[in-house]
Amino acid sequence: MLYIARWGRSATAAALCTAGLLTACEASSAIPLDAQVAPVVATAPPRAPLPHPPVQELGLPLGAFHFTMYYVAAERDYPPVEPAAANDNASSGAPDVSSGEPDSDDGADDGVDAADDATAGATPAATPRRRAVPLYHRKDCSHPIAMVDPGFEAQLDIQGTGKLRDGRVINTSGSCRCPNSPCYFEIGKAWAMGPAGKLSPFRSVAVDTDVVPLGSLLYVPILDGMQMPGHAPWGGWVHDGCVVAEDRGGGIKGRDIDFFVAKKVYSNLLDHRHHLKRVQVFDGKGWCERKDGKVQRAYRNAM
């Protein structure tokens, strides 16, 4: 009994050998039973969510694009012109670009960038008035839509959309035969217009349609997880990287992507925070979708 108690494992092995269980006997001769330990079972750690979709799940890579931003030009950023009375028209209820969002029932301001907006929109009191430049509608070259500062006209030509001092929002309609070209038209309650309709802040992009067809869904990984400035519904949300090609421009050539951010102050903020110059762009088919008229991530694929 003392022998078995002291050498219990050896006695057990001997008994197994005596009983003819050669496998156990061979194992015990190869590795002393006193040295044997229970096997360690490796367990996989919990899988952390991926910050971006795996490359193999993305659409076709379109390459590196030159990244720029555009917005609604605001006449209030420029000094009044002569004759000043030409712009003293009643407001037509167009989006209030200076406050950040189109008109709403409660009239709430976005509040986030109020100080920046005030600075951006301030007109120096001592700035002398300059001679006005006429803006025309292509169907009426005899009566200007407005008389504006030449600096605002130049910016309006670049951005394509602008808010006049009286509240009207106008959009480019392209070159025309009027004394001053391009011509413009009023768009009412919309941020801006592209060839296919209204543009959406932080979702619409302008592209070279020889490279990216209009209507294409695109995925821009660098935007995924980036906080957009402003307040809901137009801003204040975290981007998922999905955008749509809804606009084009004369200055957009080749691999250029122009991100519509609605306001100059938003362009300044994003540029200050992120300094985006070149971005990778993927075909968004299968990863992005249109749902209820909005562009968003197709979350059924984000596994």
Looking at residue 283, what DSSP letter applies? E
Residue 263 confidence (pLDDT): 95
Predicted confidence band of residue 8 (pLDDT cuts 50, 70, 90): very low
Residue 40 confidence (pLDDT): 56
Nearest to 28 by CA among 10, 5, 8: 10
User: 201 pLDDT exceeds 90?
Assistant: yes
User: 73 pLDDT exceeds 60?
Assistant: yes
Looking at 12-21, 182-191, 218-227, which range is the least confident one?
12-21
List the domain boundaries for the chain: 2-31, 55-70+198-301, 73-120+128-186
CATH dotted code for 55-70+198-301: 2.40.40
Average pLDDT of the chain to the nearest whole number:
77
Nearest to 84 by CA among 41, 50, 131, 141: 131
Q: Under the phi-then-psi rule, with left for phi > 0, alpha for psi from -120 to 50, and beta for the rest, what region is 203?
A: alpha
User: 41 pLDDT exceeds 90?
Assistant: no
Q: What is the torsional sign of CA 134, 137, 142, 145?
A: negative
Please check whether residue 58 is in contact with residue 219, taking contact to mean a CB–CB distance below 8 angstroms. Answer: yes
Q: Which two tokens stand for residue 144?
A: 């200007």
Residue 191 confidence (pLDDT): 84
